[in-house]
Amino acid sequence: MRARDPEAAARSAVLILVVAALVLAVFNAFQPLEYDRAGVLAAWSAVGVLLLASGAFALLPPRPLDRWRVFTVLPLAGLLLTCGVNYLTEDPSAASQAFLAFPVLWAASHLRRGAVVVVTGTAVVANGVTLLTLLPVDAALTDFTFFGAVLVVMAVMLVHAGTVQERLVAALQEQLTVDSLTGLKTRRAFDEALAAALQRSVPGGTALVLIDVDSFKAINDSHGHPVGDDVLVHLARVLRSGVRAEDAVLSRLGGDEIAVLMPGCGREIAVQRGEELLEAVRSTPMTLANGDLLALSISVGVAHLPQHSTDRRGLYTAADTALYDAKRAGRGRVSVARA
C-alpha cells in the first residue's frame, strides 16, 4: 500500500493536483448546470482543497509521507471529493465523472498493485453509489458499466506497463552491479561500495584484499578459454563460501582479478582472511570435463585504511602493489602492503 518511487509520486501529485484544480475551476465557471448555494460552495471549495494539497506535496519530504501511507490516501480522498462534489451539485454528467480518472490514473502510475486495486475498486463503487442516488436505475447502470469498465481497463494497462518497466530496470541494474559470469559484484558496484565505506568512519578501519589466479594465462593456453571461464566460476564459488556477504563485498574487477572489500575489518584480521581464502582455493581443485582435477593457486595482496592509505585510490594502489609483491615472491602467498 505504498508508492513505487516516493519522489516521483510526489512530483506527479503536485502536477496532477494543479491540473485537476484548473480543470475543475474552468468546469465550475463555464459548465451550464445551475447549482444552488451549497453546490457552488462545494465546487469552489474543492478547487481550493486541490491547490492546498498540491502545495503540501511540493513542500513536504516524500519518504515520510510514503511511510504514513499518504500516497494511498491521496487518490482515495480525490475519489471521495469528486463523488461528493458530484452529489452536492447533483451533477451525474459524463464530464463530472471524468474527474474520477485523475486519481485512478495517478494511482496506477505510482502505487503498488494492492493500492491500485483498492483505489480502482473504490472509484467504481463510489461512482456507482453516486449515480444510483442521482439517476434512474437504467441510466445509472449504463453510466456505471461504461465508466467502470474504462477505469478498470485503464488501471490494468498502466499497472502492467509499470510492472514491465520495473522488470527492465531491475534487469539493467543487475547488469550494472552483478558480473554475468561469476555472479560476483561488478567493478562499478565495488567502486560504489568502496566510496561508501570511505565516507563513514567504522571501527577497525577498512581492509581491501586483491586476489589474482596464478598462471591464469597458462590455464587458458593449455585448456582453452571456456575452461578459464570455468576456473573463474569455480573460484567465485570457493571465495563466496569463505566470505560472509554481510561482512564483505566480493567483486570481479576484470579478467581474473577479484577484490574483497571488508569495512570494519582490522589489518591482522584481513591478513588472516587472506590466508584462509588462499588455503580454501588450494584445497578445492576444480574437476575438468574429463574427470581430471585441476589444482588452482592464488596470490593475495592486502591493504588497510588508514594504515596504508587515506583515500580510495591510495588503498587500491597499496593492495595492488602488495598483490604483485606476492607474485614476484613466487605466487601462492599473501603479501601485505608496506606502511
Catalytic residues: 256
Signed CA dihedral, 148, 150, 153, 158: sign only? negative
- Cα–Cα distance, 331 to 231 (Å, whole number): 17
Q: Which residues pair with 178 in a beta bridge?
A: 185
DSSP 136: -
Neighbours of 288 (CB within 10 A): 12
- Cα–Cα distance, 5 to 269 (Å, whole number): 40
- Cα–Cα distance, 235 to 219 (Å, whole number): 14
- Cα–Cα distance, 28 to 264 (Å, whole number): 63
H or E segment and range at residue 11? helix 6-30
Set of cell numbers at residue 121: 475498486
DSSP 295: -
- Cα–Cα distance, 322 to 335 (Å, whole number): 5
**How buried is 211 (Cβ within 10 angstroms: 0-12 exposed, 13-18 middle, 19+ buried)?**
buried
Cα-only R_g, the chain: 31
Percentages helix, strand, coil for the chain, rounded to the nearest 5? Answer: 65, 10, 20
Query: Helix (H, G, I), strand (E, B), or coil: what is residue 194?
Result: helix
